[in-house]
Amino acid sequence: MKKFIGLMLAMLILMMFTGCNDEGKVKQGRVIAFDKEKGRVVLIEDKSLVKGKPEYTILPPSVFLIPEDKNEMGADPAVGQRMKLDDERNTITIFDTVTQQFKEIPYTLIEKKNNVAKDDPLVEGRKYPVVDRTAKTIQIYSNRQKIYVSFSLPIEYFTLPDETWAAGDEIRIYYKEEGKSLRLMNITKTDIFKK
């Protein structure tokens, strides 16, 4: 893992000095599908240039083969179709796998808590989202936004799989040929600045 992190740091430094040229390109986005057996990952690219305020809005989704060299890949990414949780407007935006489009869904708020750290007793040790098909409620914790929400939706949404309401891991792909990654870093699960 240290070798991988060292290579990623070296790549970032090289990119800063050489800029975007024939050396390769980088895409970053949220994973909506991952097939380890077929060696394929699908992501919605982040178009935002503002750190900490992603905008997963670029369609169609980008499809990449994972690196042939397994040393060039970080942790396997978790999958999810939640693109945005807007706790001000009480809406959740998902990537609809059937229509291959984004869908903004208004929800009925049950409970919301702000400034919830990942070690808060409310969320620590729990796996989110929590989908209760009997009570017709969904609980979501966003580590990035530091918010916990519980809400209800119309009954038809409870036929969708749990990953619909999950935020997939964010990954960064280095490539020279579109669709074929040379390096893949799971930036949700890897802190390159951690010693």
**Rounded distance between C-alpha atoms, residue 106 and residue 171, angstroms:** 28
The three state secondary structure string of the chain is CHHHHHHHHHHHHHHHHHCCCCCCEEEEEEEEEEECCCCEEEEEEECCCCCCCCCEEEEEEEEEECCCCHHHECCCCCCCCEEEEECCCCEEEEEECCCCEEEEEECEEEEEECCCCCCCCCCCCCCCCEEECCCCEEEEEECCCCEEEEEECCHHHHHCCHHHHCCCCEEEEEEEECCEEEEEEECCCCCCCCC
Q: Report strand pairing: 108-113 vs 130-132.
A: unpaired
* pLDDT value, residue 74: 86
Nearest-10 Cα torsion for 109, 113, 114, 115: -150
> For every one of its 195 residues, what pLDDT tens digit does the chain have, with 9 covering 90 and above?
555 555 555 565 555 554 545 689 999 999 999 999 999 999 999 998 788 788 999 999 999 999 999 999 989 999 999 999 999 999 999 999 999 999 999 999 999 999 999 999 999 999 999 999 999 999 999 998 999 999 999 999 999 999 999 999 999 999 999 999 999 999 988 765 554
* Residue type for position 184: L
The whole-number pLDDT of residue 37 equals 94
Provide the whole-model pTM.
Answer: 0.82
Query: Looking at residue 128, what is its pLDDT?
Result: 95
Domains of the chain and CATH, by start? 2-78+169-186 (2.40.50.320), 82-165 (no CATH)
Burial level of 40, CB count in 10 A (0-12/13-18/19+)? middle
Query: What type of residue sits at position 135?
Result: A
pLDDT of residue 20: 47
